Structure 1
Amino acid sequence: MPHFIVEYSRSLETDAKHADLMAAAHEVAVASGQFGEADIKVRLYPVDHALVAGNAAATLHITIYLLSGRDQPTKKALTSALVKRFEGLVPSAKSISANAIDMDRETYSKISR
């Protein structure tokens, strides 16, 4: 835990490679001090079509799925750090955003190998 889901306009691949995008999310997660490095998961999803204010534009959004229990300032610090890190990585993005979503600790299940 956590899961970082990075949705990005495919056109941003000219700014950063897949490995760079994943490394940026991972680095921010580690630097936050909130997670063990072995627990951080990052997934990328390219988006072929996106609109910003009704116009075609390159966008990037990170959704962080966290086990419930962290306070709002901690989650805000994490999303702000992500937006700042990706701003420098993908300068051609018209919109960069991040959101943290709580997952219920009581119902979350996983297998670790």
Structure 2
Amino acid sequence: MPNFIIDCSENVTRLKTTAEIMQEVFEAALSTNLFTAPEIKVRIHAFSDYNNGNTQDDFIHVFGYIMEGRNAEQKGNLSKVIVTKLKDLLPQVPSISMNIQDFEKESYFNSKSI
């Protein structure tokens, strides 16, 4: 925990490697001091087929899933830090966004809980 899932247009992965993009998200999340390095998980999906406002403009959207307990200011800062770092890395991408959703402690379970 947390999980960051990056959706992007395939062309974005031609501008920077998937490893570079994922590392930027990892380092940005770590820099907020909300998580430790072993907790952070990052994955990426690159789409060749998409409709972005009836265009083929490049995009990045990060879905952040974190355990509940952080306040709105912390979550807002997390989104801002990650989007800012991605914009610095890929200034030519016109649409970079992020949202955060909370996992509820009562309903979250993983194999380490067994």
What is the alpha-carbon distance in structure 1 between the residues aligned to residue 104 and residue 84 of structure 2?
Answer: 28
The equivalent of 1:62 in structure 2 is 62
Q: CA RMSD in A?
A: 1.1
Superposition map of 1:6-85 within 5 A = 6-85=6-85
Question: C-alpha offsets along residues 36-95 of structure 1, whole Å, 9 cap, x if unaligned?
Answer: 110110011111133333211110000100111111000000001111000121222120
Whether the 8 Å CA contact 1:52–1:95 is kept in 2: the answer is no
* Amino acid of the structure 1 residue aligned with 2:74: T
Moved more, 76-85 or 53-62: 53-62
Aligned: 1:96 with 2:73:
no
The one-letter code sitting in structure 2 at the alignment partner of 1:76 is G
Distance 1:72 1:49 in 2: 34
Matched-pair identity in %: 27
TM-score, structure 2 length as denominator?
A: 0.92
Output the CA distance in 2 between the equivalents of 1:34 and 1:44: 21
Contact 2:13 2:46 survives alignment (8 Å): no
SS at match of 1:81: helix
Moved over 6 A (4+): none
